[in-house]
Amino acid sequence: GGIEAVVCVLTLRDQVIHPTVNLEEPDPECDLDYVPGAARRADVRVVLCNSFGLGGQNACLVLGKFEG
């Protein structure tokens, strides 16, 4: 929960997408923008933070970049 939220806030601040862990062979049928190997700069405006716990204690946060 808390660590994931911090990583999401840092992603918004630094505008860097971290690599997809353990991605060796992406499915060619899946049209996703994978980030293999190394981090990548991007224009990040919104992030989704998921936290799943034992016993069904789940939470999701949607955080957005402040533009003001």
CATH 3.40.50.2300 corresponds to the domain 2-64: no
Whether 1 has a pLDDT exceeding 80, the answer reads no
pLDDT category at 11 given cuts 50, 70, 90 is very high
Average pLDDT of the residues of the chain:
91
CA distance 58 to 51: 6
Give the CB-side neighbour count of residue 10, counting CA atoms within 13 A.
8
Instruction: Give the tens place of pLDDT for each residue, 43-63.
Output: 999 999 998 888 888 999 999
Domain ranges of the chain: 2-64
Strands 58-64, 46-52: pairing kind: antiparallel
